[in-house]
Amino acid sequence: MNVNKDPNYEFAEDVVNSLITTLMHPNLGWETLETRANETITHTLTIVKCMANASDLWFYSKFAPKTILYAVLISTVHEYIMDNVKKHQSRAFWMDLADKTTAEQEKIKQIADNVKNDDKINIDEYHEKFRGELDVSTQ
C-alpha cells in the first residue's frame, strides 16, 4: 500500500488511539473531589468534537481506506455520544463505548487489509454498520 499519498495515514491511527484513551478517562461518569461536576465530561466532549471535525477532512479520494474508515468511526462515536446525553453520568457508558470503539478499530484494520487503495468505500454503509455495533439509539 502506498501511504505516501495519504498524509493522515499514521495520524488517523494516533487520533483513534487518543479517542479510546480519552473515553477511558477514570473520572468520566464520576464526580470527584478534584474536578467540578461534569468538568471531565465537558472537556471530553470538546476533544471528541475536535477529533470528529478533523476527521471530516479525511474523506478524500487519495486517502487510504483505513484513514477513511477511521474518519467514519470517529464521526460515529461522536454522534453516539451526542445521541446519548442522558447516559453521560454513567461510568459504564464510557467504558462500554471505549471497549466497543477498540473492537471497531481492530475490525477496521482487518477490513483495510482486504481493500485496495483505489476501491471505493461506501461511507454510509460503514456509518450504519458502526452505529449498529455501538448500539446507537436516538433520543
pLDDT band at 4 (very low <50, low <70, confident <90, very high): low
The three grid cell numbers given for residue 118, joined into one nine-digit string: 483505489
**pLDDT tens, position by position, 42-95:** 999 999 999 999 999 998 777 889 999 999 999 999 999 999 999 999 999 999
| Angle between helical axes of 39-55 and 65-83 (0-180°, round to 10) | 140
The three grid cell numbers given for residue 83, joined into one nine-digit string: 445521541
Task: Write down the pTM of the prediction.
Answer: 0.87
Looking at residue 2, its pLDDT comes to 45
**Domain range summary for the chain, segments of one domain joined by +:** 7-133
pLDDT band at 139 (very low <50, low <70, confident <90, very high): very low
Provide the b/e sequence for 61-86 (b: ≥16 CB within 10 Å): eebbbbbbbbbbbbbbbbbbbbebee
**pLDDT tens, position by position, 93-114:** 999 999 999 999 999 999 998 9
Are 133 and 103 spatial neighbours (Cβ–Cβ below 8 Å)? yes
